[in-house]
Amino acid sequence: MKKIPIKKEIIIIIFGILLNFLASHYNLSKFDKIYKNYDGQSYNQITGSDLLDTWEFAETFRKKISETNNFFESLPHFERFYLPSIIVGYYYYLIDKEIYETIETGEKVVKVDNYKFGLLLIQILSYYFAIYLFVKTLKEKYKINYSLILLSFLSFEPTIIQWHHSFWNESFFITMMIFLFYLLIKNSNNFWLNFIIGILVALMFAQRAVSFFYILPVMIYFIFINKRNFRSLVFLIFGFVSLIFFIGYNNYDKTGIFYLIPSKHQYYSYYYYFGTRIYADTHNISREKAHDILDLEEKKWRVDNDLYPELEKEYNANKARDNLKLNKDYSKAIDYRNKKFVEIAISNPIYVTKLFIKRVLLMSQFSPTWVNQSYNNDRTSPEAKFNAAEYYNRNFIRNIFYSLCVYTFVMVGFLNFLKELVFEKKYSNHNKFLIFQIISILYFVTISGLWGNPKYFVPCIISLSFFFAKGLNLSIIFFKEK
């Protein structure tokens, strides 16, 4: 009997899935437990830090949909994490399990051993299905010779796959990103497919607010590929605007204000994180003094404009979220902070430029254990408070060494791409797709660079994977010929 050959791509996918299953089991067994921090507060370690907001909103959504059986009526407004909360909440609604429990101390925490593995299973299978479809289509459309390397990189590179056995938002986001790439190269002249692409880009925004303007790089790619076929662009925009409008209307229905970018993201934005340090450098004073000055100015502005004096405290209280006047006051405060940051940044462009470059370099490291490290981070610990730089960057040297190894092949692939584009004038659809990847990298670096967090660099790593695979393949060919 003749044996049916198993494709290498299938073997890679299967091993990738099994590896993530094992890592998921390890993380759940080690970190799905109640942890008490230095301030005496208890929480589930695997859903701590920024994930707490996601799971709190998920619980509210789950409870409401259980009571009403109405999905759309139960949807939360977009405050910080929109789609992640909906995914988690709806999952627990479907399996009819509660998310929270009250422990002996009287604190409400995310339950231990409450079928979390099902969420991780969905993440893992969704991701590997997306990369299989994408790499297969990329190989067929563009006849590339580095598809196995690309598939292996996307399947096993630890900085990427660590998100699939965690509950951070990056897993579904990069899955949607890869599925977007698949649809982009599949058939750019199918109008209804373009409509779906627009919806998908809007879903990416719902998953991570930082991608709100990501529709612009996608539009540029459409112009590259379709040239004067503007109907394709119209269907893309129509799909994007349709879902965006729905999100805005849902926000209006829940809060009385039509908005798109969540208020939490705007309030705790550039002004909150970087205004003080820029102001301090401009006036040659300490950051503590700069903070006091800016805080006093904002409080005076609130009094002069008859706003809530304890605006932040009131807004963070659940009972105040549906207060129309409070929401309007909060929006005014956001507008004040945005204008103030622009004013501060313009006053010291040299420092801002230096800060941005420094933070981008910090952000662009490959950090393969970021997720596991986050489980062990405790913001209330003495090390975190008094030596934050060393505490949060304790694997920095190792990450730099690993990053340089990866970037070596990325650079080889990128230089070969430039040679084809500039000297050989190869303006193929494949090279246009790689141009789109460069624009995508620039987009995320521009939006998130100041934060300097490797977590925000993950979408860029997906785009860099093409140049890595291309560069490694060229290096293999070169040494084979020696």
Q: What is the pLDDT of residue 132?
A: 95
> What number of CA atoms fall less than 13 Å from residue 42's CA on the CB side?
16
pLDDT at 267: 79
Q: How do the pLDDT tens digits run along the chain, 482 residues long?
A: 444 455 889 999 999 999 999 999 999 999 999 998 888 889 999 998 888 889 999 999 999 999 998 998 999 888 878 999 999 999 999 999 999 999 888 889 999 989 999 999 999 999 999 999 999 999 999 999 999 999 999 999 999 999 999 999 999 999 999 999 999 998 767 888 999 999 999 999 999 999 999 999 999 998 888 776 778 889 999 999 999 999 999 988 888 888 888 877 787 888 888 999 999 999 999 999 999 999 899 888 888 887 766 666 655 554 445 565 666 777 788 888 999 999 999 999 999 999 999 999 999 999 999 999 988 888 888 887 788 778 888 888 999 999 999 999 999 999 999 999 988 888 888 999 999 999 999 999 999 999 999 999 999 999 999 999 999 999 999 888 76
Note the pLDDT tens digit of each residue in 296-309: 998 888 888 877 66
Report pLDDT for 310: 65
Q: Are residues 331 and 257 in contact, defined by beta-carbon separation less than 8 angstroms?
A: yes
Round to whole Å and give the CA distance between 247 and 257.
Answer: 12
pLDDT confidence of residue 3: 47
Say how far apart CA 367 and CA 387 lie, in whole Å: 20
Are 333 and 341 spatial neighbours (Cβ–Cβ below 8 Å)? no
Rounded Cα–Cα distance for residues 337 and 339 (Å): 6
pLDDT for 316 equals: 59
Q: Read out DSSP for 158-169?
A: HHHHGGGGS-ST
Length of the chain in residues, anyone? 482
Beta bridge partners of 36: 42
User: Which of 25-58 are b and which e, b meaning 16 or more Cβ less than 10 Å from the residue's Cβ?
Assistant: eebbeebbebbebeeeebbbbbbbeebeebbbbb
- Main-chain dihedrals φ then ψ at residue 133, nearest 5 degrees: -60, -45
pTM: 0.91
Q: Report the DSSP beta bridge partners of residue 35.
A: 43
pLDDT value of residue 314: 57
CB 328 within 8 A of CB 257: yes
Q: Any idea which residue has 């986050």 for tokens? A: 374
Report the pLDDT value the prediction gives residue 1, as an integer from 0 to 100: 40
| Rounded distance between C-alpha atoms, residue 11 and residue 24, angstroms | 20
C-beta separation of 164 from 369 below 8 A: no
